[in-house]
Amino acid sequence: MSQTVKPWLRLRRGLEHDYRVIKVREDRWADPRTQHEHSRVLVDCTDWVNVIAVTPDDQLVLVRQFRCGTGTTTLEVPGGMVEPGEDPAVAAARELEEETGYVAGRVVPLGTVHPNPALQANQCFSYLALDCVKQHTGKQDEGEDIAVELHPRADVPRLILEGHITHSLVVVAFFLERLRADATGPR
């Protein structure tokens, strides 16, 4: 039997610090069980998209890039931020093309997750982009240094289990793709 958890009441919004891609603040909240006040740090981010891009010959279009948080180079799916007012499916197609130069024949939604609901309210939308064809070299944003790689789609489990793909939201995108495939059958 599940227990009811009451929402906490925000008592005060803290001073916001704007770091261009995120805003950080510390708010004060009241625990509904005890009425005690607690500080909680919140990170305000825009929504994100991840794109599992597949070519007509069943190759995955992956990107390799340096990530400052881990100080390492990571292997990921293309993705990025959803612009204000932009439909996430449009953002997925845009990010795929900007980062890789590939254009999708069609984009299929896989699902949405909250990256870290303890700190963030934003969502990450995952998409499957099918029949992706290379149209140009890409138009990376200032500060992006991305290498595009093709990998056989069948290699996904190995790439994850051997630690080549470690970004949690990328792993979630592949999990959502598997769940959709199991629920609907082959595409």
pLDDT tops 90 at residue 187: no
The answer to pTM > 0.75 is yes
46-184: CATH, from 3.90.79.10, 3.40.50.150, 3.40.50.2000, 3.20.20.60: 3.90.79.10
Question: Is 154 a residue whose pLDDT tops 60?
Answer: yes
Range 147-156 average pLDDT: 97
What pLDDT score was predicted for residue 184?
A: 85
Q: Which residue has the higher pLDDT, 142 or 76?
A: 76
The catalytic residue positions are 142
- Range(s) of the chain covered by CATH 3.90.79.10: 46-184
Q: Cα separations (Å) of 181 from 55, 103, 110, 120, 187? A: 17, 22, 10, 29, 7
Q: Which two tokens stand for residue 32?
A: 């509904």
Tens of pLDDT, residue by residue over 121-141, are 999 999 999 999 999 988 887
